[in-house]
Amino acid sequence: MKALTSTLVVAAMLALPAAAVRAETDVLFPPATAGCYVGAEVTPITAGVAPYRKPAVPVTSVRLERSYPQLAHEEEQPPRADGGRMINLAVSVTFADAGKPGAVKRYSSGRWELLQCTADLCDAGNYKVEREAGGTVLLRMTGGMYVGGGPYLETAHRRLPDGHVYRLVASPMAACR
Amino acid sequence: MSSIEARRLLAMLAIVAAMPSSTSAAETRALADALRSGRPSCHARIFDATELASHPNQRVAAIMIERTAQDVATERKWGKLEQFDGTPVISATLRVRLRGDPAKHSARLECAESDEGALVCTTPACAGGEIYLGSGGSDAINVSIGGTLKDGRFIGHYIHLDESCEARPGGPILLESGDGDRRFTLTAAPKEACR
């Protein structure tokens, strides 16, 4: 009996780290882990959401990147009293006119925004990232987002309007570069 | 001297002491010694064949950071604006020659101060990537790509080296940390070394 108990204890100890690893990685944007998602717009045509304006140019690709700058910024945040998990993401957007001469090639979100996360959803207030089955996420505008690009004194801004939705696939880090 | 006059004198002295002089902001700015306010600069590191042979994982064969008179004028213009977190303070050009590639690639840099006393440099041509400039001692600067988290793990990063961003067939030209390109120390050099 004693031998059986010891065996069970050892087996439980061996299983614990594996369970801890699984618990940590089985969440959207796990702590201290780089990641990249790449995708495009999937807003339903019938949704009645506001179109892109000034200019009326659609989005061709969206990237969510969590690399060294984002992870280093997350480490600087004090722990929240409510135990909430906060992450930082770089959202970068390419519009259909990016290939035109002089056009901004890629727009990006503000540098220091934080999203509060549960296991399956991260919420910035004006947008959300929702985990789907199969390694995809939905980036959903819940208020809309300004993105900017170009030189500091000539920064151009565009808006991703409220209600627009983008589906992104987990990808190698190189796909976000 | 009456106590009122003494108090007024003390108040004036306090105000004068609190006023920033025209040079104090530049003197306290990150890397103020190596990248002097109002003066063009060139910092370079060129690896010879022997050095490259001893670092087989390193892709960078030469790396330079140059500030021209035009960059200095841009910095002056930025300095006159209201300063926010992220307002750039250094304008420069990064030039890199990669192993086995005779072409020299370049990126315009806009560098803002970080809380850690370094400079964070991005390229306006393609949002996303960034490099870090820190003091390399004396007149030298350290260029870092990526960095280490508190748990000791290195997380790689990159910066774009051409203006095509994601439009280039075959993928973008990048300066990436990889296994052998995480940090370089660039020393002050004549401007010809940066061309």
Q: Report ipTM for this prediction.
A: 0.83
B residues 3..22 contacting A (CB < 8 A): none
Does residue A71 form part of some domain?
Answer: yes
pLDDT (average), residues B44-60: 97
Does residue A18 form part of some domain?
Answer: no
A104 pLDDT more than 80? yes
Does residue A93 form part of some domain?
Answer: yes
Which chain B residues are within 8 Å of A96, Cβ to Cβ?
none
Q: Which two tokens stand for residue B161?
A: 């080296």
Q: Which two tokens stand for residue A105?
A: 């090639």
Whether residue B166 and residue A32 make contact (CB cut-off 8 A), yes or no, is no
B1 touches chain A (CB under 8 A): no
- Number of A:B CB contacts under 8 A? 75
pLDDT (average), residues A59-87: 95
User: Which three-class secondary structure state does DSSP give residue B33?
Assistant: coil
Comparing alpha-carbon positions, the chain A residue that sits nearest to B123 is: A151
Nearest to B62 by CA among B110, B123, B119, B105: B105
List C-alpha distances in Å: B126 to A39, A90, B105.
18, 13, 14
The per-residue pLDDT for B6 is 54
Q: How far is CA B175 from the centre of its chain?
A: 15
Which chain A residues are within 8 Å of B126, Cβ to Cβ?
105-106
pLDDT (average), residues B84-88: 88
Does residue A171 form part of some domain?
Answer: yes
pLDDT (average), residues A9-29: 55
Comparing alpha-carbon positions, the chain B residue that sits nearest to A107 is: B127
The per-residue pLDDT for B7 is 58
Domain that residue A109 falls in = 28-176
Whether residue B127 and residue A99 make contact (CB cut-off 8 A), yes or no, is no
Which chain A residues are within 8 Å of B127, Cβ to Cβ?
92, 106-108, 148-149
Does residue A13 form part of some domain?
Answer: no
Does residue A7 form part of some domain?
Answer: no
Does residue A72 form part of some domain?
Answer: yes
Nearest by CB to residue A67, choosing from B78, B151, B155, is: B155
Instruction: Kindly report, residue by residue over A4-14, the tens digit of the pLDDT.
Output: 445 444 444 44
Number of domains in chain A: 1
Does residue A54 form part of some domain?
Answer: yes
B63 pLDDT more than 70? yes
Least confident of A126-130, B81-85, B147-151: B81-85
